[in-house]
């Protein structure tokens, strides 16, 4: 069984500060991996490296066995051309904390743009696909609305539909509920839970401990740029080995 995602010895620095200090991670098809940790631990940076929004100085990332972002030329490591990087990015889908919907387009067109311009579907095909996914996230009747006419939770669900419509091999969720009013969080979490149950491979960065516990097949705890501990939710939440993890969980008021 080959991994969807393989990260090998990933190092990244911002100027003088090393933010990721040698990350190794394998994600199998259908796995739901939640990354938890305090701010500054590097979780969001890790996610952004996977879809090449950030550059990294050392290490490799492979999707379905294929290295992305960089290649060797004459023994030196260089970054691929932007057009190639774009192709690599299309293999993953990302949902952002601030949704980032395209403000000048309707929900439908937001979801259609990628399939039309990157997957080269015709307008009719893209529209059918977009409507299917908007329906999956429960927002088909809002397809002609602009983002400014949607609530935060609705915007986030459209953003998720937009990412999934690209048929990615891997979905990345970057703290997608942190910017939402509490009463809107549940609808988004339900959408994600739905997708997880249908077998989508996912990596989530989240603060929602209960949700992470219920939905994930594996939890990864990061601290100061390294993976400190990882394992199934039952193990990590109730039998943590690392002390820092215990402290962290204590601070998050997670009820054991």
Chain residues in the site for another protein (CB under 8 A): 51-53, 82-83, 86-87, 89-94, 96, 98-104, 113-114, 117-118, 146, 148, 159, 162-163, 166
CB 143 within 8 A of CB 172: no
Backbone angles phi, psi at 103, to 5 degrees: -65, -25
Residue 141: both structure tokens together: 């009747």
Residue 134: both structure tokens together: 């908007």
The least distance separating another protein from the CB of residue 22, rounded to whole angstroms, comes to 25
The least distance separating another protein from the CB of residue 180, rounded to whole angstroms, comes to 15
Measured from the CB atom, the residue of 131 and 229 that comes closer to another protein is 131
The least distance separating another protein from the CB of residue 163, rounded to whole angstroms, comes to 7
The least distance separating another protein from the CB of residue 48, rounded to whole angstroms, comes to 9
Measured from the CB atom, the residue of 50 and 139 that comes closer to another protein is 50
**Cβ atoms within 10 Å of 122's Cβ, excluding its own:** 10
Measured from the CB atom, the residue of 117 and 123 that comes closer to another protein is 117
Measured from the CB atom, the residue of 3 and 98 that comes closer to another protein is 98
Residue 90: both structure tokens together: 């299309």
CB 18 within 8 A of CB 225: yes
Measured from the CB atom, the residue of 78 and 86 that comes closer to another protein is 86
The least distance separating another protein from the CB of residue 196, rounded to whole angstroms, comes to 20
Query: How many distinct helices (H) and strands (E) make up the chain?
Result: 9, 12
Q: What residues have CB less than 8 Å from 4, skipping those under 6 apart?
A: 27, 28, 29, 31, 63, 64, 169, 170, 201
């Amino acid at each position: 069984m080959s991994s969807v995602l393989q990260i090998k010895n990933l190092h990244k620095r911002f100027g003088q500060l090393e933010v990721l200090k040698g990350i190794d991670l394998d994600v199998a098809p259908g796995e739901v991996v939640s990354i938890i940790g305090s701010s500054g631990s590097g979780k969001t940076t890790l996610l952004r490296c996977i879809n090449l929004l950030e550059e990294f100085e050392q290490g490799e990332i492979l999707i379905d066995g294929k290295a992305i972002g960089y290649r060797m030329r004459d023994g030196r490591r260089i970054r691929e051309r932007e057009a190639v990087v774009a192709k690599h990015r299309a293999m993953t889908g990302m949902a952002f904390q601030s949704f980032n919907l395209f403000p000048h387009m309707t929900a439908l067109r937001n979801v259609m743009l990628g399939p039309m311009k990157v997957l080269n579907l015709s307008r009719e095909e893209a529209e059918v696909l977009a409507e299917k996914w908007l329906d999956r996230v429960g927002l088909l009747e809002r397809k002609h609305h602009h983002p400014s006419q949607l609530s935060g939770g609705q915007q986030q669900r459209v953003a998720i539909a937009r990412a999934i419509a690209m048929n990615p091999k891997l979905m990345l969720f970057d703290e997608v509920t942190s910017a939402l009013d509490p009463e809107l969080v549940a609808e988004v979490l339900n959408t994600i839970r739905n997708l997880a149950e249908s077998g989508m491979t996912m990596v989530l960065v989240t603060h929602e401990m209960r949700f992470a516990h219920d939905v994930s097949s594996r939890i990864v705890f990061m601290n100061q740029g390294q993976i400190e501990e990882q394992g199934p939710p039952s193990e990590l939440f109730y039998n943590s080995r690392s002390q820092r993890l215990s402290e962290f969980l204590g601070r998050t008021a997670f009820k054991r």
